[in-house]
């Protein structure tokens, strides 16, 4: 199963304070919109998302169809195929993609320790 780019999406209290902290760890702004309360930061091939007021917990995020530079991959597993595989292996999904559609879609599941996993396809 090809899950694409990986990042950790952090629920932060103060976007600018968190941005300054991660800049000291060598991260720089890669994408995002501070006026919309989120930034994506990168250090080499490591990605973190900083999200203020958007969700309560941190989230493990995978982006099928993207590499770590948010460039579209020639070949990838569509989120709907990933969904079928996960459901076929007995995993329960918190949110499912509409299998009658194509293109951007997402699914959410929760691991045994309560961590949210977002599989978010943008292409």
> What confidence tier does 102 reach under pLDDT thresholds 50, 70, 90?
very high
Which pLDDT does position 24 carry in this prediction? Answer: 98
Tens digits of residue pLDDT in 81-92: 999 999 999 999
**CA neighbor of 5 nearest in space, from 50, 33, 47:** 47
DSSP designation for 35: G
Which pLDDT does position 78 carry in this prediction? Answer: 98
Q: Which CATH number fits domain 5-121: 3.30.470.30, 3.10.180.10, 3.40.50.150, 3.90.1150.10?
A: 3.10.180.10
- Distance CA(106)–CA(51), nearest Å, equals 18
Which pLDDT does position 109 carry in this prediction? Answer: 98
Q: Three-class SS of residue 118?
A: strand
- Distance CA(33)–CA(29), nearest Å, equals 10
Which pLDDT does position 36 carry in this prediction? Answer: 97
Average pLDDT score over the chain: 97
Which pLDDT does position 100 carry in this prediction? Answer: 97
> What confidence tier does 6 reach under pLDDT thresholds 50, 70, 90?
very high
Tens digits of residue pLDDT in 9-52: 999 999 999 999 999 999 999 999 999 999 999 999 999 999 99
Map tokens 């292409």 to a residue.
123
């Amino acid at each position: 199963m090809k899950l694409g780019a990986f990042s950790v999406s952090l629920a932060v209290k103060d976007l600018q304070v968190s941005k300054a902290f991660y800049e000291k760890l060598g991260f720089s702004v890669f994408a995002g919109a501070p006026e919309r309360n989120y930034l994506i930061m990168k250090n080499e091939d490591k990605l973190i998302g900083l999200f203020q007021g958007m969700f309560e917990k941190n989230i493990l995020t995978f982006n099928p169809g993207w590499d770590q530079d948010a460039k579209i991959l020639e070949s990838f597993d569509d989120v709907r195929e990933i969904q079928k595989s996960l459901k076929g292996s007995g995993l329960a999904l918190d949110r499912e993609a509409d299998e009658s559609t194509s293109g951007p879609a997402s699914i959410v599941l929760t691991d045994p320790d309560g961590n949210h996993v977002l599989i978010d396809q943008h292409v």
